Chain A
């Protein structure tokens, strides 16, 4: 391949050389840190994505070496390619900070803020965005928007009220599966993601819409209300899958696999797409070959458990023998024989739906 032309671009006073055709956002991501604008709709692995959420707006204070005029409006950095000698202001521009705060306010305007009961909480990009760029209160005094519920099958749960219409799932369904069955209905503030006439989504790669969703609009039904992500330990694992790469992240608690997702990079983007079988059907540790702990950013709430080094599979060593001078422990009472609320033969992740007292009631069955 011939040598690619390199363009010099300065973002927030940091200069970097990138190949021609790179977008401002990707150039900023190469610098990393705070310079990289937040992106809610852009997804590098989905063609045509980006430009919609307007959180990645930046100011171009100098167009290029040839044409130094600044761009008249703020531009969406995810869809604007760099020019040689371009100067971009992200967090150093007051206009950008102001506009971004506005966009966050707009995105949260009709968002239900039901984080306490949302499965996405803890790994939600909208949470991160509002934490970093939002205000503490809203100026919206009206009833928030609601939608008629759509059932889209046994695997995926749709919460349209949480949706920010990033269109990522639409692109995923379009580009990853052979038959696109869901899209955007209606327009304006009543636009919604839905399948046309209550179809269920069961194409074998459709589960990836859960991973690309930046908010809790599309969540895993098999994991619904099972656990909070920050109580789980992400473990890298793989299996020999005939359909996909089989490289996944398992979300464990003890020996139990609660959830399977694709592996995500530091920008929250999927590294390799996985199939529905891996995601929804393989929920036994024995299905997988464990590789080791998944590195989680230390700022993430998921890393609060400090699990690194003592991964889910690892069981604490038995210390009774040492403490008791070799005598074996004497069982006074087996709580499981007596208790009606705790039955250890029940595997929480395999119960259909959230755990409930009836699940443990031994008189039932």
Chain B
């Protein structure tokens, strides 16, 4: 059994309510942080823990906290990004739904560390029922003196406000989230200035993912150095993975980043193997934006080493042969799945969710979707594949926010690794409507040239 820090108590009956959560040792970290440690000590502890942002980019959280500007007389804010909209990712929902007090506890400690008296949870509009759960948790915490004025007699005031989004994926991007929180159209801002200097209402702001903030609780409880001992290298602590697709046991799993991808997919403790006895064809290991990998490159790196479930190992080989940890949305495709169709549905998603602010993303995403639609429905040409490659190349890196990259990467990776499947669709348009390309050679072991 691996170590569980976040979901350890998630299945205790009534953990959703304050009394049970408190009885199980909840809110210890608030007492410790506010009474025994100062804000600087907390930031220092988070830095030592090596905790990396769990929202997708993997930026060290302690470092992000230390960037926040502290001008005299200007309030600072902590914003919790609960706009979890990445297709394939549902870990934050699980966390907030089953153990909401863990997030509230992490928010109080982090707010204290950053000096935020008004902290916001920006939650995805579709998570309507979770808003009620969170607001109940907040009022319970308030009634028990962990929120509001003069928390635990330390003189620190903090209120948490829950704000619902209106159903736009782009509002998960931190500057678009800030705009939306201010009540404006959710267009990403142009950086710099960064939110750490000018965020919500032009005040210094830190935006963190739900899981990142929840992970602050065990860090304070056990100490940053102890936390850093879990995991390997720069992938410290535990990570929630939301596994879905053609597996026997879809769900949210907490891993300590030392297990291999193969173990994660096939062991009964986690995904329990591919459903219906099929074979693994491909996988998107970190949510819809990250590159898709064929089975052979997923289980072993290009150098023939075992691939592990952590930040470094998943991105081993760069985009040529690797992928990314992302937000932990683990999507598994079996041999019956069509990569072209799959790429089309992702392209359709990004076309629909582009904010339309900058030209490459606004026009390019729609163009890619139309071409992919042609290929999928047997009207494609071989030149379309090169055209797709050229379009994604011209979107990537040329946009204001990472949505352009997120739209370009899945298309790029699909063409890079599954080009013959695209070509088969073009060359056998009628057959492609009847059956799928199948597993082909995508699970064949990769030949690794011997090195001297």
With a CB–CB cut-off of 8 A, which chain A residues contact B357? 52, 165, 167
Interface residue? B345 (CB, 8 A): no
A184 adjacent to B190 (CB under 8 Å): no
Interface residue? B363 (CB, 8 A): yes
Rounded to whole Å, the gap between the CB of A326 and the closest CB of chain B is 68
Q: State the interface size on chain B (CB cutoff 8 A).
A: 27
What are the interface flags for B379-416 relative to A under an 8 Å C-beta threshold, 1 for contact and 0 otherwise?
00000000100000010011110000000000000000
With a CB–CB cut-off of 8 A, which chain B residues contact A102? 360, 394, 398
Interface residue? B142 (CB, 8 A): no
Contacts A73-B397, A142-B370, A187-B170; A106 near B364 (Cβ below 8 A): yes
With a CB–CB cut-off of 8 A, which chain A residues contact B387? 139
Contacts A73-B397, A102-B394, A109-B367; A52 near B354 (Cβ below 8 A): no
With a CB–CB cut-off of 8 A, which chain B residues contact A313? none
Contact of B358 among A54, A98, A109, A190 (CB under 8 A): A54
Q: How far is the CA of A162 from the CA of B191 in the complex (A)?
A: 28
B398 adjacent to A54 (CB under 8 Å): yes
Rounded to whole Å, the gap between the CB of B406 and the closest CB of chain A is 14
Q: How far is the CA of A199 from the CA of B229 in the complex (A)?
A: 63
Interface residue? A53 (CB, 8 A): yes
B185 adjacent to A184 (CB under 8 Å): yes
Interface residue? A110 (CB, 8 A): yes
B354 adjacent to A103 (CB under 8 Å): no
Interface residue? A116 (CB, 8 A): no
Interface residue? A320 (CB, 8 A): no
With a CB–CB cut-off of 8 A, which chain A residues contact B366? 188-189
B363 adjacent to A189 (CB under 8 Å): yes
Q: How far is the CA of A142 from the CA of B190 in the complex (A)?
A: 31
Contact of B398 among A79, A99, A164 (CB under 8 A): A99
Interface SS of chain A: helix, strand, loop or mixed? loop
Interface residue? A257 (CB, 8 A): no
The A/B interface has a contact count, at CB < 8 Å, of: 87
A51 adjacent to B190 (CB under 8 Å): yes
Rounded to whole Å, the gap between the CB of A13 and the closest CB of chain B is 24
Interface residue? A107 (CB, 8 A): yes
Contact of A187 among B168, B190, B397, B400 (CB under 8 A): B168
With a CB–CB cut-off of 8 A, which chain B residues contact A57? 398
B359 adjacent to A189 (CB under 8 Å): no
Closest to A105 in B: B394
A103 adjacent to B365 (CB under 8 Å): no
A189 adjacent to B354 (CB under 8 Å): yes
A99 adjacent to B394 (CB under 8 Å): yes
A52 adjacent to B359 (CB under 8 Å): yes
With a CB–CB cut-off of 8 A, which chain A residues contact B355? 187-188, 191
B398 adjacent to A103 (CB under 8 Å): yes
Q: How far is the CA of A48 from the CA of B397 in the complex (A)?
A: 22
A107 adjacent to B397 (CB under 8 Å): no
Interface SS of chain B: helix, strand, loop or mixed? helix
B168 adjacent to A53 (CB under 8 Å): no
Interface residue? A267 (CB, 8 A): no
Q: How far is the CA of A107 from the CA of B398 in the complex (A)?
A: 14
- Chain A interface size, as a band, is 20 to 34
A79 adjacent to B363 (CB under 8 Å): no
Q: Which parts of B345-376 form the interface with A (CB within 8 Å)? A: 351-360, 362-367, 370
Contact of B352 among A54, A99, A188 (CB under 8 A): A188
Interface residue? A118 (CB, 8 A): no
Contact of B359 among A98, A103, A139 (CB under 8 A): A103
Q: How far is the CA of A98 from the CA of B395 in the complex (A)?
A: 12
Rounded to whole Å, the gap between the CB of A67 and the closest CB of chain B is 14
A191 adjacent to B362 (CB under 8 Å): yes
Q: How far is the CA of A249 from the CA of B98 in the complex (A)?
A: 67
Q: How far is the CA of A139 from the CA of B384 in the complex (A)?
A: 10
Closest to A40 in B: B359
Q: Which parts of B396-451 form the interface with A (CB within 8 Å)? A: 397-400
Q: How far is the CA of A41 from the CA of B220 in the complex (A)?
A: 48
Interface residue? A46 (CB, 8 A): no
Contacts A54-B398, A102-B394, A140-B367; A187 near B354 (Cβ below 8 A): yes
With a CB–CB cut-off of 8 A, which chain B residues contact A50? 190
Q: How far is the CA of A167 from the CA of B400 in the complex (A)?
A: 15
Closest to A170 in B: B185
Interface residue? A206 (CB, 8 A): no
Interface residue? A76 (CB, 8 A): yes
With a CB–CB cut-off of 8 A, which chain B residues contact A142? 367, 370
Interface residue? A176 (CB, 8 A): no
Q: How far is the CA of A178 from the CA of B359 in the complex (A)?
A: 29
Rounded to whole Å, the gap between the CB of A327 and the closest CB of chain B is 68
Q: How far is the CA of A191 from the CA of B366 in the complex (A)?
A: 12
With a CB–CB cut-off of 8 A, which chain B residues contact A164? 359
Counting from the closest, the 3 A-B pairs by CB-CB distance are: A102-B394, A191-B356, A106-B363
Residues on B facing A (Cβ under 8 Å): 168, 170, 185, 190, 351-360, 362-367, 370, 387, 394, 397-400
Can you name 25 A-B pairs with beta carbons within 8 Å? A51-B190, A52-B400, A53-B359, A54-B398, A55-B359, A57-B398, A76-B190, A103-B394, A106-B364, A106-B367, A107-B359, A107-B363, A109-B363, A164-B359, A165-B357, A184-B356, A187-B170, A187-B354, A188-B351, A188-B355, A188-B356, A188-B365, A188-B366, A189-B351, A191-B356
